Structure 1
Amino acid sequence: MGKAALRSLPGLVCPRCRDHHQAPAERTTPLAFCPRDGFALVAPLVLADADGDPFLGRTIAQRYVVVGRIGAGSMGAVYRARDITRGQDVAVKVFRGDRGRGARALSRLDREARVLSMLRSPHTVQVLDVGEVVHGGEDALLAPTVSRYLVMEMLEGEPLSVRLRREGRLSIAEATRLATDALTSLSEAHEKGIVHRDLKPDNVFIARLPGGAEAGKLLDFGLADLEPAGSERAESAPAATKGPVGTPRYMSPEQALGEVVDARSDLYAVGALLYQMLVGRPPFVERGAAQVMAKHVHEPPVPPCEAAPEAGIPRALSDLVVRALGKRPEDRPASARAFIAAIEESFARA
């Protein structure tokens, strides 16, 4: 059955056998299962969007029932699942063991699980569980595959990247609030020796809270650098490392050059994010990664108040963003907490 036909079906469908079932008139539970193979039934639209995904409808670790796919990449996917033990929805990130990138994927998941287990800020996505799942092997010619999974709190809302694509730029109040939320998350991380290294709009989630309020939460610590246990490095420069990892439009100059980075590299990235939220574009927008990184290293940004004069950005806030985008780490705010204080002070001076 094609995707168009699937989308037009009423009721529910089994992702494995494709049997069609009428949706119960009254459902006392958010889940329904196929009587033939035990997979969770899903809406036809959900199946059409994730057709062929081996985890759709599957129950992981006898408690996480996968009912939809949120997103997918080269190393795996993120799913919406129902935790039947806690009776709540969760997000399950699966790193596929059959994608030919096993060591790299497992290293990234292990790093993210370890880092998130250390963080409790309400502005950092919370990890709930981690483990392994065996899948495949139904065909006698194919061996079962072992994949790793990470269970996190389910967030309702949208990534900052989606909001920016829709709205262009944000109000000054919203931009500074989201920057402050990100810095609050980073403050705890940096104090525990963790550098995120990949701050970008996709990794800032704008979560809807009860009552309609919103809060920014940092996601994806898979590239985070963690200071080894017993390290004698100073707290002011945690988790230094070498390697040009990250996303070019938000990389600090030292990160772009593959030099040693510390917490102040994350503060540069927050400066780039705040610039984009205020102005409607990142500080440097060349198409090629090498050209963007070269501008981070060599060119000063146009001050936000000059790049978007119609936005009414206070000069003190504009100057702070330029300071956060300083080429030398020592020219930026000294810490995430100092950055937050400087944002508050910029409003007092406006």
Structure 2
Amino acid sequence: MTDKNDERGQPHRFVGPGNRYELLRHHDSGGMGDVWEAYDRNLDRSVAIKFLALARLAGVHPGGEREAKMRELFIRESLTMAQVSTPYVATIFDRHTGDGDPFLVMEYIEGDSLAAYVGQTPLRLERTVHWSRQIAEGLAAAHDKGVVHRDIKPGNILITADQGDVRIIDFGLARFADSTESYSGAGTPLYTSPERCRFDSGDERSDLYSLGCVMYEMVTGWPPFGDRKSESAALAHAHQFKQPTRPSAQASGVPRPLDDLIMKLLAKKPDDRPRNARVVIQTIREVERAPEVVDGSPQSPVGRETPHVNTGYVNRIRETERRVRRLTFEHGGTHDDVVAARAELAELTGISGDARGAAELYDRLGHDCGVWFGRQDRRSLDAFEGMTRWIEGRGMH
């Protein structure tokens, strides 16, 4: 390893019994420790390794009995975390608790965190509903095993590059951090439940509150309280005492059932939130609408007042997004094929139930075409006509 890697506290290129894991690339550093991409030489696969910085976490009493107790806690927590089995939670393959910092060996996931998708502008509704249900599915599977995350936030939700599905990471590590002297137990302030702000341990309904914060940000573009520059104390006060503005008041086109669900998740008292994650899943499914497609064509238009989101279009929308990027790379943004693909993406977005998203995509396309070809060009006029259709709720041609 290079000296730079040595400075991160991991001087060996190979770790684990028999030097099973080869460290390849440092991914991230945080208060808990470091994350590496690694190669499992026994099973010929990529894995992610998360080292826990014991000396740092032990606070003012490092070494000796303190670190020994933390190792014991790590063993118990890792056993519990490994029991969670669902496509929406990163799988734990192995652990190491011998000499040096203990570490977890987990599924390596290609993709970005949800944090790369949220912020300032709303996500399309079909994507919001699809990912929200998958997060709730992951939480339900973990809660069934008695595992509470305690730090649900966009940074702990990965989106796979291949299928665009959710993988929740770092289950159980917040509880481990709670037991250390260097952590307050409050989690990430923007997404922390009122009870966790009071340093209570919380239960599965604390995770549901945090899910509500994440869903609020997906729908509106902003967390329910503050932003990333806000002081932790101010955020804690808001979570405990301030009522959030309804998402539908912040962004147009939010289906009422989704609006109501987010507000219920953000209830100050745990007893006023949904009973468990499975109730959340059922509510989200009521927001979804099964696709009605014959020969690849939708059978009925979806206007702006329709209170459902058709997640059956998720894959078609992702494929169209990829096609837009590929064509743009091959031909440049002004090519007619790119313009046509962008119009198709806007139309699919509207058909999925997101009239607002369709109008925004058409509006952006219209402005681009106006710059490239002139505002009276057919391509500009067609795009603005599409925008008007979805604003007025007239949907498809």
| TM-score, normalised by the number of residues in structure 2 | 0.63
**Counterpart-to-counterpart distance in 1, 2:271 and 2:32:** 37
**Counterpart-to-counterpart distance in 2, 1:253 and 1:54:** 35
| Distance change (3 Å), C-alpha of 1:72 and 1:111 | farther
Deviation at 1:260, TM superposition (A): 5.9
| Maintained 8 Å contact 2:128/2:218 | yes
| Maintained 8 Å contact 2:26/2:35 | yes
The counterpart of 1:217, out of the listed 144, 167, 182, is: 167
Confirm whether residue 329 of structure 1 aligns to residue 270 of structure 2: yes
Q: How does 1:138-177 map to 2 (within 5 A)?
A: 146-165=100-119, 168-177=121-130
Deviation at 1:72, TM superposition (A): 1.2
Q: Which residue of 1 aligns with 2:374?
A: none
Q: How does 1:198-217 map to 2 (within 5 A)?
A: 198-208=151-161, 212-217=162-167
**Counterpart-to-counterpart distance in 2, 1:254 and 1:132:** 32
**Counterpart-to-counterpart distance in 1, 2:56 and 2:148:** 28
| Distance change (3 Å), C-alpha of 1:54 and 1:263 | closer
Corresponding letter in the other structure for 2:281: I
| Maintained 8 Å contact 1:112/1:223 | no
The counterpart of 1:284, out of the listed 208, 225, 233, is: 225
The worse-fitting range, judged by mean Cα deviation, of 194-203 and 99-108 is 99-108
Q: Which residue of 2 aligns with 1:302?
A: 245
**Counterpart-to-counterpart distance in 2, 1:74 and 1:273:** 22
Q: Which residue of 1 aligns with 2:24?
A: 67
Deviation at 1:108, TM superposition (A): 6.7
Q: Which residue of 2 aligns with 1:80?
A: 37
Corresponding letter in the other structure for 2:210: A
Q: Which residue of 1 aligns with 2:302?
A: none
**Counterpart-to-counterpart distance in 1, 2:248 and 2:41:** 51
Deviation at 1:110, TM superposition (A): 3.6
Q: Deviations over 1:152-211 (max 9, x none)?
A: 11110011112225x743111111211111111111111122221111111111122xxx
Aligned pairs, number: 271
Higher strand share: 1
Confirm whether residue 89 of structure 1 aligns to residue 54 of structure 2: no
**Counterpart-to-counterpart distance in 1, 2:32 and 2:279:** 37
**Counterpart-to-counterpart distance in 2, 1:191 and 1:74:** 28
**Counterpart-to-counterpart distance in 2, 1:52 and 1:298:** 43
**Counterpart-to-counterpart distance in 2, 1:74 and 1:255:** 18
Q: How does 1:247-258 map to 2 (within 5 A)?
A: 247-258=188-199
Q: Which residue of 2 aligns with 1:320?
A: 261
| Distance change (3 Å), C-alpha of 1:108 and 1:302 | farther
| Distance change (3 Å), C-alpha of 1:67 and 1:269 | same
**Counterpart-to-counterpart distance in 1, 2:192 and 2:250:** 20
**Counterpart-to-counterpart distance in 2, 1:202 and 1:177:** 18
Deviation at 1:294, TM superposition (A): 1.4
Q: Which residue of 1 aligns with 2:10?
A: 55
**Counterpart-to-counterpart distance in 1, 2:132 and 2:226:** 20
The counterpart of 1:126, out of the listed 65, 70, 91, is: 91
| Maintained 8 Å contact 2:112/2:160 | yes
The worse-fitting range, judged by mean Cα deviation, of 253-262 and 215-224 is 253-262
**Counterpart-to-counterpart distance in 1, 2:134 and 2:76:** 23
Corresponding letter in the other structure for 2:219: L
Deviation at 1:322, TM superposition (A): 0.8
| Maintained 8 Å contact 1:244/1:257 | no
| Maintained 8 Å contact 2:80/2:147 | yes
Q: Deviations over 1:36-87 (max 9, x none)?
A: xxxxxxxxxxx6xx47445366111211011110111244211111111100
| Distance change (3 Å), C-alpha of 1:113 and 1:296 | same
Higher helix share: 2
1:66 match: secondary structure: strand
Q: Which residue of 1 aligns with 2:2?
A: 15
Deviation at 1:279, TM superposition (A): 0.6
Q: Deviations over 1:89-126 (max 9, x none)?
A: 11111123554735386467445412321111111111
**Counterpart-to-counterpart distance in 2, 1:100 and 1:261:** 21
Q: How does 1:230-245 map to 2 (within 5 A)?
A: 244-245=185-186
Q: Deviations over 1:131-150 (max 9, x none)?
A: 1464xxxxxxxxxxx22111
- 5+ residue gaps in structure 1? 1-13, 17-46, 135-145, 226-242
**Counterpart-to-counterpart distance in 1, 2:219 and 2:241:** 22
| TM-score, normalised by the number of residues in structure 1 | 0.70
Deviation at 1:272, TM superposition (A): 0.7
Corresponding letter in the other structure for 2:110: E
Q: Which residue of 2 aligns with 1:26?
A: none
Corresponding letter in the other structure for 2:23: V
